[in-house]
Amino acid sequence: MPSQPLAPPPMQPAQPAAVVPSAPPAPGAPVVIRAAGVGKKFVAYHKRATSLKERFVRRDTTSGEDFWALRDIDVEIGRGQTVGLAGANGSGKSTLLKVLAGILRPTHGSVSVSGRIASLLELGAGFNGELSGRDNVYLNASLLGLSKREIDRLFDSIVDFSELRHKIDDEVKHYSSGQYVRLGFAVAVHVDPDVLLVDEVLAVGDEAFQRKCLAKIAQFRDEGRTILFVTHSLDLIENMCDRILVLESGGLIFDGQPVVGTKLLRQRLGSLPADSPIPFDLAPVKPTAVAFSRNPGGPTEVQYDPGEQLTVSVELDLTDSAPQYVYLHVEIMGQGEIPIWMMETPPGGVSPGPGTAVVDFVVPRLPELLGAFAINVRVSDAATGQPVTVRRFEELFGVSGPQVAGLLKVDYEARLRR
């Protein structure tokens, strides 16, 4: 659904790419999506130009700074692959999809996609707000290469899928963002695409519709179509994809097996990017305290035996601007700053609301691991994966046992053989 191709900015060398373990498409499968040395530069102004005049003045004085949203991306995706595209906010996911969809021109390199591409990109891309839903269906589907007769035949099914029959003759500018996405997705999946590109916009729909979309994506996957979709749900990538691409600051930092990539991503998202630390005091969600007890809400205790129950309670202080869904990642740190195990909230996070809240992590049986342990807490926005803050607590709890030497209690027998 191409809309506004940008004029290509002047050429500039891209920054060096990260080293990427490459995951070639399955042997024998023809390559349907290819990006070779793709870089995309935007000009970022410190201050937004507010008037046409200012924009001209700014162009004259060239106070803009080059900003590489994508650098040196090399990817080949084979027919039938289902690929998850992940990375923190601003890492370039939407830009990469737009470049592949032909909506943005790469500054460097080239892309090619064979077959019919249907895409559901960022909100609004591809729709004309002044037209009705009905006209937009015709416009979009014809841009994707369908004849009027074909669209006539599909129209009812598209409208049924979108669940928007009651609004189909309203101008699209009166649609909610969820309704936009429903119509966009309905068109995208009805045009019989060979390649489906989906941005994370699916997340704006309600849950029932999201499920329906995911079922459709799964059906496409089973039919052997090629799918590239952006999601913050790492579980979804693990469950549905053959492959994950991870972007960081416009570079491809991983291309390969979903379970490996999601692990890497969890590590990367768990730590604050060095160039944009949020001062702890300004964080909208602050872990203010940790406490150890046997039972949630019970008296504080710091000494435990292996096999006992332990509750680690993390107290949070949330401002009004805190994300609605908060994701906690708690590391139990052993001597020498070695993380011994970790505990996390469910992937969707918890919704503590503003004020103070306590998240209890209950360990029913402590492992046979002796020592004193400290706690690291990382907080992120569950909806976006964006890190919020991280805090290391000095409070320790101890696990002691009958044996004094060694860190780990291991069952064994001593036998004499001669």
Binding site for ligand ADP (CB under 6 A): 42, 44, 67, 69, 87, 89-95
Phi, psi of 177 (to 5 degrees): -60, -35
With CB cut-offs between 5 and 8 Å by kind, which of Mg ion, ligand ADP, none does residue 71 bind? Answer: none
Least distance in angstroms from the C-beta of 268 to Mg ion: 17
Cβ contacts of 51 within 8 Å, gap of 6 or more: none
Least distance in angstroms from the C-beta of 136 to ligand ADP: 23
- Chain-centre distance of CA 27, in angstroms? 28
The answer to whether the CB of 380 falls within 8 A of the CB of 329 is yes
Alpha-carbon gap, residue 76 to 255, rounded angstroms: 10
Pick 159 or 246: Cβ nearer ligand ADP: 246
Pick 97 or 328: Cβ nearer ligand ADP: 97
With CB cut-offs between 5 and 8 Å by kind, which of ligand ADP, Mg ion, none does residue 265 bind? Answer: none
Least distance in angstroms from the C-beta of 246 to ligand ADP: 11
| The pair of three-digit structure tokens given for residue 322, joined into one six-digit string | 């805190």
Pick 92 or 323: Cβ nearer ligand ADP: 92
Cβ contacts of 62 within 8 Å, gap of 6 or more: none
- 3-state secondary structure at position 336: helix
Q: Which of 141, 177, 143 is nearest to 159 (CA)?
A: 141
With CB cut-offs between 5 and 8 Å by kind, which of Mg ion, ligand ADP, none does residue 42 bind? Answer: ligand ADP
With CB cut-offs between 5 and 8 Å by kind, which of ligand ADP, Mg ion, none does residue 69 bind? Answer: ligand ADP
Least distance in angstroms from the C-beta of 362 to ligand ADP: 35
The answer to whether the CB of 205 falls within 8 A of the CB of 164 is no
Pick 123 or 214: Cβ nearer Mg ion: 123
Pick 254 or 393: Cβ nearer ligand ADP: 254
Pick 104 or 330: Cβ nearer Mg ion: 104
- For 9, 92, 115, the CA distances from 67, given in Å and listed in that order, are 11, 11, 32
Least distance in angstroms from the C-beta of 122 to Mg ion: 6
With CB cut-offs between 5 and 8 Å by kind, which of ligand ADP, Mg ion, none does residue 37 bind? Answer: none
Measure the CA dihedral 5/10/15/20, to 10°.
40
Least distance in angstroms from the C-beta of 93 to Mg ion: 5
With CB cut-offs between 5 and 8 Å by kind, which of Mg ion, ligand ADP, none does residue 91 bind? Answer: ligand ADP
Alpha-carbon gap, residue 284 to 322, rounded angstroms: 5
Pick 68 or 127: Cβ nearer ligand ADP: 68
Least distance in angstroms from the C-beta of 17 to ligand ADP: 16
With CB cut-offs between 5 and 8 Å by kind, which of Mg ion, ligand ADP, none does residue 87 bind? Answer: ligand ADP
> Position of tokens 């994950």?
244
DSSP string, 136-157: HHHHHHHHTT--HHHHHHHHHH
Residues binding Mg ion (CB under 5 A): 93-94
The answer to whether the CB of 3 falls within 8 A of the CB of 125 is yes
Alpha helix stretches (DSSP H) within 123-233: 133-143, 148-162, 177-190, 207-222
Q: Which of 260, 233, 235, 230 is nearest to 247 (CA)?
A: 230
Cα end-to-end distance, the chain, whole Å = 80
Alpha-carbon gap, residue 329 to 342, rounded angstroms: 7
What does the angle CA 133 – CA 136 – CA 140 come to, to the nearest 5 degrees?
145
Least distance in angstroms from the C-beta of 78 to Mg ion: 24
Pick 92 or 251: Cβ nearer ligand ADP: 92
Least distance in angstroms from the C-beta of 103 to ligand ADP: 11
| The pair of three-digit structure tokens given for residue 191, joined into one six-digit string | 């045009």
Least distance in angstroms from the C-beta of 69 to ligand ADP: 3
Pick 22 or 89: Cβ nearer ligand ADP: 89
What does the angle CA 307 – CA 312 – CA 318 come to, to the nearest 5 degrees?
165
Pick 4 or 51: Cβ nearer ligand ADP: 4
With CB cut-offs between 5 and 8 Å by kind, which of ligand ADP, Mg ion, none does residue 92 bind? Answer: ligand ADP
